[in-house]
């Protein structure tokens, strides 16, 4: 969507180490400056959490328009948004300019996916969480490429809160943070509904993108999960009210629920780079990748006075792999370079760990401090 590079990490006995950075997109909107991303993030977080727009358009000069499902009533826009009038049908959505900012009300649009460019030209993006389900129809290689692109885009977005992308029917992209594979997508719906039953506030719930490859059964996304869970599927796509038809890797169209269509030039993904990187990852499935050789074997655990063995905590004098600045706005610096795009919850976790570095922190203490004792959902990767 807004980031044209993907950094792949190996998991080892220390902090993640970047091993490959590959270019994956060439949309004009995919090459923003750091300032543009921060401005866009501020703009998106000014959208009230109970407002569910379905499409976002952006022009090259920074004008952002939010379009709503026309079956619903158009809500009045809060600052900095104003009503967008198309000159024919009257107000059709909200409009603002990147750089505008209003009161922070929500976590933005974590399940925002780029669909392509129109002839206007504008960049068209879909809020899958509000659509419920977006179908992908077309030749299987082109449809799978769209599903891979949506998976990578949401999992690596620098403007989204921590999200989970749950994939069924395809084993690739396993090394991406936030990507899980499952054979039970209906169970993911149950997990999201449990968060509501536990009275977890929306800001603390985990947004989920469910990616359904061919020959998998897409789950039905209930209305109560609108804004938090969305599915993109290449299985029985004509049944979906929102349908992206792809002719090949270059052209397609979005079919709207009212029968209208929007012709698109699809994101200019480089299939050679993507496929070669995915093939490289497939040679080392998760859990079997080579591990770095330690310079020295770890010291044996030291028995405590009562005879119990305690794990050896990391020495405070060890070189820090990153610095967390907790005075004023929280900032994370790795090897002298600021780490941008971290969500609010991630920054809270890092700040808590940094301020308790000398004594160490248990998982239970972190749960109580950050999530106020709320139990994690089953099979989650919260910590």
Higher pLDDT, 272 or 129: 129
DSSP state of 146: H
Is residue 179 classed as helix, strand or coil in its secondary structure?
strand
pLDDT of residue 255: 92
pLDDT of residue 282: 53
Mean local confidence (pLDDT), 349-378: 75
Looking at every residue in the chain, the average pLDDT score rounds to 75
Asked if 148 contacts 155 with a C-beta cutoff of 8 angstroms, the reply is no
Q: Is the pLDDT of residue 168 over 90?
A: yes
pLDDT band at 369 (very low <50, low <70, confident <90, very high): confident
Gyration radius (Cα) of the chain, Å: 22
Segment 281-289 long-range contacts (CB within 8 Å, at least 24 positions apart): 281/8, 281/172, 281/173, 281/174, 281/175, 282/171, 282/172, 285/171, 285/174, 286/174, 286/175, 289/10, 289/11
Region of poorest pLDDT, from 38-52, 181-195, 271-285: 271-285
| Alpha-carbon distances of 50 from 107, 228, 289, rounded to whole Å | 11, 11, 43
Region of poorest pLDDT, from 32-41, 241-250, 361-370: 32-41
pLDDT tens figures, 210-233: 999 998 888 888 888 888 899 999
Mean local confidence (pLDDT), 157-177: 78
Q: Is the pLDDT of residue 114 over 70?
A: yes
Chain centre to alpha carbon of residue 6: 13
Q: Is the pLDDT of residue 45 over 90?
A: no
Region of poorest pLDDT, from 46-50, 63-67, 300-304: 300-304
pLDDT of residue 128: 94
- pTM beyond 0.85: no
Residue 245 β-bridge partners: 137, 253
pLDDT tens figures, 302-336: 454 445 444 444 444 555 667 888 777 788 888 77
Q: Over the range 207-244, which residues count as b (16 or more CB within 10 Å of their CB) and which as e? A: bbbbbbbbebebbebeeebebbbbbbbbbebeebbbbb
With residue 63 as reference, give the H or E element that holds it.
strand 63-68
Q: Is the pLDDT of residue 285 over 70?
A: no
pLDDT of residue 5: 41
pLDDT of residue 211: 94
Q: Is the dihedral of CA 71, 41, 21, 170 positive or negative?
A: negative
pLDDT of residue 28: 36
Q: Is the pLDDT of residue 283 over 70?
A: no
pLDDT of residue 166: 92
Given its phi and psi angles, is residue 35 left (phi above 0), alpha (psi -120 to 50 degrees) or beta?
alpha
What percentage of the chain has pLDDT greater than the value 90? 20
Ranges of beta strands (E only) in 218-354 are: 229-233, 242-246, 251-255, 261-265, 302-303, 309-310, 323-325, 331-334, 337-338
CA angle 134, 137, 139 (to 5 degrees): 145
Please count the CA atoms within 13 angstroms of the CA of 311 that sit on its side-chain side: 6
| Alpha-carbon distances of 185 from 182, 204, 209, rounded to whole Å | 7, 21, 10
Higher pLDDT, 155 or 245: 245
Find the Cα–Cα–Cα–Cα dihedral 203, 204, 209, 215, rounded to 10°. -140
Q: Is the pLDDT of residue 49 over 90?
A: no
């Amino acid at each position: 969507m807004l980031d044209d590079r993907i950094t792949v990490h190996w998991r080892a006995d220390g902090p993640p180490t970047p091993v490959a950075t590959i270019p994956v997109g060439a949309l004009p909107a995919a090459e923003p400056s750091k300032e543009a991303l921060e401005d866009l993030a501020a703009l998106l977080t000014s959208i009230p959490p109970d407002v569910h727009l379905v499409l976002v358009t952006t022009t090259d000069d920074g004008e952002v328009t939010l379009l709503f499902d026309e079956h619903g009533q158009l809500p009045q826009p809060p600052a900095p948004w104003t009503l967008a009038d198309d000159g024919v049908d009257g107000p059709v959505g909200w409009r603002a300019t990147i750089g505008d900012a209003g009161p922070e009300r929500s976590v933005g649009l974590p399940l925002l996916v780029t669909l392509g460019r129109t002839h206007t030209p504008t960049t068209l993006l879909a809020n899958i969480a509000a659509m419920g389900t977006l179908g992908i129809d077309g030749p299987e290689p082109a449809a799978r490429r769209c599903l891979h692109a949506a998976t990578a885009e949401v999992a690596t977005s620098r403007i989204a809160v921590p999200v989970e992308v749950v994939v069924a029917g395809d084993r690739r992209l396993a090394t991406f943070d936030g990507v899980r594979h499952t054979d039970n997508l209906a169970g993911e719906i149950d997990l999201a509904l449990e968060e509501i039953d536990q009275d977890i506030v929306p800001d603390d719930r985990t947004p989920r993108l469910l990616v359904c490859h061919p020959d998998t059964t897409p789950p039905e996304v209930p209305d109560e999960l609108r804004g938090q869970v969305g599915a993109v599927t290449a299985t029985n796509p004509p049944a979906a009210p929102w349908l992206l038809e792809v002719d090949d890797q270059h052209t397609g169209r979005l079919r709207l629920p009212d029968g209208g269509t929007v012709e698109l030039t699809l994101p200019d993904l480089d299939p050679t780079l993507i496929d070669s990187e995915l093939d490289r990852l497939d040679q080392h499935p998760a859990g079997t990748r080579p591990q770095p050789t330690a310079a020295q074997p770890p010291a044996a655990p030291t028995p405590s006075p009562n005879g119990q063995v305690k794990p050896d905590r990391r020495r405070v004098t060890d070189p820090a792999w990153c610095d967390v600045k907790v005075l004023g706005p929280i900032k994370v610096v790795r090897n002298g370079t600021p780490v941008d795009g971290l969500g609010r919850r991630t920054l809270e976790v890092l700040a808590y760990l940094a301020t308790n570095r000398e004594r160490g922190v248990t998982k239970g203490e972190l749960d109580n401090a950050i999530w106020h004792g709320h139990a994690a959902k089953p099979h989650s990767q919260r910590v």
